[in-house]
Amino acid sequence: MRASERRSDKPLGGGLEPPRDAGRRARYEAMVELAGELELQEDPGILWRLTGGNPRALITIKRRGLERWVQEEILDSTWRTLREAMRRRGENIWESLEKAVEDLDEADVELQELMLENNMAIYIAGSDRISRVPDEEWVRRRYAYQIPVYYHAMKVISARRSLEVTPQDVIREVE
């Protein structure tokens, strides 16, 4: 069954419900529609939890496939960023990484800067004055992960205290 044929009010896998907030619900519906037009076979809930509905990410998933997208777009960038952090700080970045996963606002400033430089995170302080900031684990008051999959990749890497993480590991994190 194609994503466009799925009812968007069905649970998102893992027992999660579609967004109830009208704005988020509309973005979710738009993502389901685009996923259908792209004929993506992946569960819309998984796509939502990885991409946050980002159209560019969905189009890239169509071109490359989900696992290849996670590998080439997300893990390669994350590894590059964390290796640079290790080079600058020494091998032990795990505590700093744990802080970044727990609360990106409280992460080590040098790691925040590297994540901003590598487009893994964005600075959002003050954006709540012009729009509603989603209440998500990957969004904080001053910083947010660019898309949710970066948060999930960092969470898996942090939990393992290893860069030896596969796309399947990241995908399983959101199932």
Domain residue ranges in the chain: 3-64, 67-174
What is the total residue count of the chain? 175
pLDDT of residue 5: 40
CA–CA gap between residue 174 and residue 157 (Å, rounded): 14
List, for the chain, all residue ranges whose pLDDT scores fall below the cut of 50.
1-16, 129-130
pLDDT of residue 129: 47
In 3D space, the residue among 12, 9, 23 whose CA is nearest the CA of residue 132 turns out to be: 23
CA–CA gap between residue 127 and residue 108 (Å, rounded): 22
pLDDT of residue 159: 96
Q: Is the pTM of this model over 0.85?
A: no
pLDDT of residue 136: 67
Task: Write down the residue that tokens 């590894």 correspond to.
Answer: 79
pLDDT of residue 31: 92
Ramachandran angles phi, psi of 171, nearest 5°: -65, -45
| CB burial string 48-70: b at 16+ within 10 A, e below | bbbbbbbeebbebbbeeebeebb
CA of 102: how far to CAs of 1, 22, 99, 121, 144, in Å?
37, 27, 5, 14, 12
pLDDT of residue 35: 94
pLDDT of residue 90: 74
pLDDT of residue 138: 60
CA of 18: how far to CAs of 22, 46, 93, 112, in Å?
11, 11, 35, 30
